[in-house]
Structure formats: structure tokens, C-alpha cells
Chain A
């Protein structure tokens, strides 16, 4: 029992990331009818927003510290971050320490603008082109984006830690009435999971309760009819693209303490997220979310030693295996609708 709960918990953070990326992919696919291979790159850029924030907050100037001397007896020169000099070492240090969550403030505008530019500048011209062309041009864009990031930030992963307050582990087991030290769970993963739930709920509420969302949902169901009603659906779809980009970016920012960002993390996640979308059912938002968590948890179960000893290597292939089985038995995925991409 404890082992099962532990594995479910372990699967939640990866599952959350899959769900968030798949959600954005599905939004873009459902509204614009475009298969976006650059979505992983958006996730990656989100993650680098956290890195940029960390660097921005860490910007320092050199100051001579009179109270200390170096080994030659001269007054010691120290680097003092501007933030600390402005807000004092206490508050300033805390701000620097919280750079990952603060990265959100940077990521939202950056991602929305990037999304708008991408849609207006590139994707718009591919609505009427075959899906293969959409895949190829967004694939090219993904390469360009990740190479730009590589140029500025190098090829090595960059450590970005969670705030000290949230970086430890806590004993989740005792809260549920199990023995102590059985279910130890890193605090940040819980934060990430709650954050993902919050975003997902936000997106759904937005689509459910606003007029804008209603039009978009109608557009997802039947684009032509909505177009006939004289509603300017294109402008709304641009905004949807920005929103999907922001969701991917936020998923990236908050993921950095779990996985140190590198320039190709987007591609790694993209491949899996596509599998998630297909398993959930192309064009189904709840399907994407459910499949994201489901596959994350399945993956975590498959990496248990007990299971690996029965079927070696299963942890490496479980997601793909599930996708293959689902595609062959339920071609529309778990919650897919009829007629999506079946021509």
C-alpha cells in the first residue's frame, strides 16, 4: 500500500508536466488545427525564463568590504547583487532565493508575446497546408529556438534551485496515518503538482465560464459553423495560441528545480507529450490531462524494482507501449471525438 502511494506520488510531477504540455498542444490542435512540433521548445523557453530571472536577480556590482581582508591583507572585494543593496541583505537574499517562482512573472509576458509572434508570423500561413508541412515547419522552428537558447546559455544543464523553504522533503506518510519515514516526498514536487492543478483548473474555467471560452469551444467543435456566424474566430485563435504558449512556459518555469534546464529538454518532453495527446484522444482537453497524469504514474510504477525484475526495461518503453496498444485498439484515444484527423 505504501509503495503504491509512493509511486503514484512519484508519477505526479512528470504527469503534471505531460498534462500541461499536452493541454497546450491540444488547445492549438483543437482550435487552429495545427500540429505544433515547436511546443516542446516553448516549454524549454519557459524553463529558461527561470534561468534568466535567476541571472537578472543575481546581477551584482563589486564592492570593497572594509570589515574583511583577503589573504594578502588588502580589503576584500565582494560581489553584491543589486537586489541586496536595494532591499537589504535579508529581503534581497530572499528575493534571489525565490527566483524560480518569480520567473513566472517574466514567463507570462514573454510566452504570450512569443506565442502571438509565432502564430501571426508563421503558423497562420500554415492553416491550409497539409499536416505534414505543419509538422515540418514547426519542427524546423523548434530546432531554431533550441539552437538560439544553446547559443546564449550553452549546452550544459543549468542548476536552478527551489526556494530553501520549499526545497526539502516532508513525510507525507505520517499525514495519511502510515509509519514515519515510509513515504518521504520532496516538497517542491507537491508544489508543482498543485501549481499544475491550478493552471489546468484555470484553463478549464476560462473556457467554461467566459464568452471568449465559449466561442473557442464552439470553434473546436465546428470551426466552419462558428465562422459562418460572423465571429472573428482568427483573432481569438491567436489569443488561444498565446495562452497555450503561456501554459507550456509556466510548466517549464516551475519544472526547473526538478530537472535542471538544458536546451534539448523541450524535444524530450515533446515526443512524450505527443504520445500523451494521442493516448488521450486528439482534440480532447480532458483526455490530454487525464492521459498526462495516467502515463506519468504508469511510468513511475514501471520503474519500480519489483516490476523491472519481472519485465526488464519496461520503464523505458511503457509509455510507447501503451500508446501503441491504445492506437491500435481505440484509434481515437481514450476520449477522442470522431472525425479528428481521420482524413
Chain B
């Protein structure tokens, strides 16, 4: 029984079958990659997991509870954090404030009227945020405006914002999309570091095979909205169906 169980999920957009009978099981403390050619339905699947879309049929269970029909913030409170393709951070706030906000969300829930407390007096939370920034080597940038960070640092900050919540499941949507090789390698190192230092389950949607094969414990290949195969990376590499799905598309 995995921490995330997707059963028989279908999603249609008008005449287009975006997802057809998707079954997926993500085991605790593993890195599970979902790969597939463009238009395979990876993003649709991800959006069904975080509450942005509601599947037509099927169930999505996280930690024994259904996520369907819940709003994104409720799903986050259940323990799912998400990293976006282009980093979503609070650009006008400082780096430290960016990390403080998820700390408050974790402690106080979706809403609390803490209008008469002072951020600077919340020692425990500030310490935790600083510790997190140390962990991703950004402590020296804590007073910078998040919008003035480099792209690599923005990605790093977004990861820190997700990790500081100690999520049970971290969803990553093409975390290296549009990155230069060096930045991609940095991100891989960061993810490896995260994987090595804490108990965390990750589901990665990714295009870049290099990223997938350096990190994943299990891989699901999605094609035309349906899972093709699911196996360990070594087996996926030489799998004929996978080559057909990828190469067939690449050459066709």
C-alpha cells in the first residue's frame, strides 16, 4: 500500500481523453518518476493530485484519505507540497520571509488571525527557517528580495519553502525545465542531498532522462494518458515499449 494511491482516474477535456484509467502507487520514502512524451498527460495527472483539476472518475487517496474535491490549500495541509515548473515564490518578500510563511502555515493551519503577534518574536519559527536556509546554502541571502535571485536560487528557495513544511509527499513538476546543464546538475545534487538527509517521498514529473535516471527509485511511463509500464530504472532503460513510445514519437 503506497502513500499515494491513484486508481482508475479518467479525465476528459471535450473530445480529448487526457487521462485514461490511470493507476499509480507511490511507496513511502521512494522517489517515483513519471515520464512520458509531450502531451502524455503528465501535467493533467499532477493537477488532479493537487486539487487544481477534479478527475471525471476514479479515486486519489493520500495517506488513507481522498484528496478529490479538496482545495489546494487543504491538500497541502494534508502533507503534499508542490514545486512548480517555473519557481513560484513571493517575489516582493525577502528570502527569509519566503521561508517563514510555510513555517507559519505548518504551525497555524490555513488561517489564523495573528495580527497582534510580531514575526521577529517568533523565535522558534525564525530559527527553523534559518536552519532550512542554511541547509540549502542560502543563509547569506536571507535579506535579499526573492525576485532579485538568480533562477537557480529561486528554484532552491522554492524547494526550501516546500521542505521546511516537512511534507509527506513532495511533488516536482519538471524541476529542471529550461535550465542550463550546470543548473540542472546543481538541482540534481540538491535533490540527492534532500533524499539522503531526510525521510521523504517524492514524485517527479520530468522530461530530462538524465535527471530521472540519477534520482528515481521507480519510474512510470505515461503515453497518451495511460501508464505504459512501471518498473525500476534499469528495466525501463531497455524496455521496448518505452523506446517505441519515445523514439516512435521522436522520429515520427
- A–B in direct contact per CB < 8 Å: no
Measured CB to CB, the residues of B under 8 A from A are none
